[in-house]
Amino acid sequence: MPTMAPPEDATAERFARLDERFDRTDERIADVDKRVAEATKDTNRRFDEVNQRTTEAGKQTDRRLKEVDQRISEKAVGTDRHLERIEGEVRGLKGEVRGLNKGMESLHSGIHRATIALWVASAGVIAAILAKGG
């Protein structure tokens, strides 16, 4: 049995349905493209916002670091002045201690001489008592 070609109307109807399917597919692709473009714009906007916030945070951090550096420098200068004053006081105290040491040596020497003088005087008194007939 020989196969018969479909009638002309049936072929045209098939092509019309295929064309409709392609049209719907094209519409879907266009819709997806539109949504992707919108999502891309939204994503770029969000990235711009994040970059702006990051830049602002970096500037704020830099400003804070400069403030901290300045405060540290000010404290360091104050601390240096305080240390210089303390070093001056220590030098003065060292001089006073040297003076006290010399005074103590002099006092010790005087006490030693007085002790010797007492011994000599005591020996003289003992010798005088013994010489009188004691």
Please state, for a pLDDT cut of 90, what percent of the chain lies above it.
62
Q: pLDDT digit string (tens) for 93-133? A: 998 999 889 989 988 999 999 999 999 999 989 988 888 87
Average pLDDT (52-77) is: 94
Query: Rounded CA gap, 8 and 124, in Å?
Result: 166
Query: Rounded CA gap, 35 and 27, in Å?
Result: 12
pLDDT band at 61 (very low <50, low <70, confident <90, very high): very high
Looking at residue 1, its pLDDT comes to 47
Please state, for a pLDDT cut of 70, what percent of the chain lies above it.
94
Residue type for position 116: I
Average pLDDT (44-71) is: 95
User: Would the pTM of this model clear 0.85, i.e. be above it?
Assistant: no
Please state, rounded to an integer, the average pLDDT across all residues of the chain.
89
Query: Rounded CA gap, 72 and 86, in Å?
Result: 21
Average pLDDT (33-43) is: 95
Alpha helix segments (H runs only) across the chain: 8-132
Both structure tokens of 105: 């040596």
Query: Rounded CA gap, 86 and 71, in Å?
Result: 22
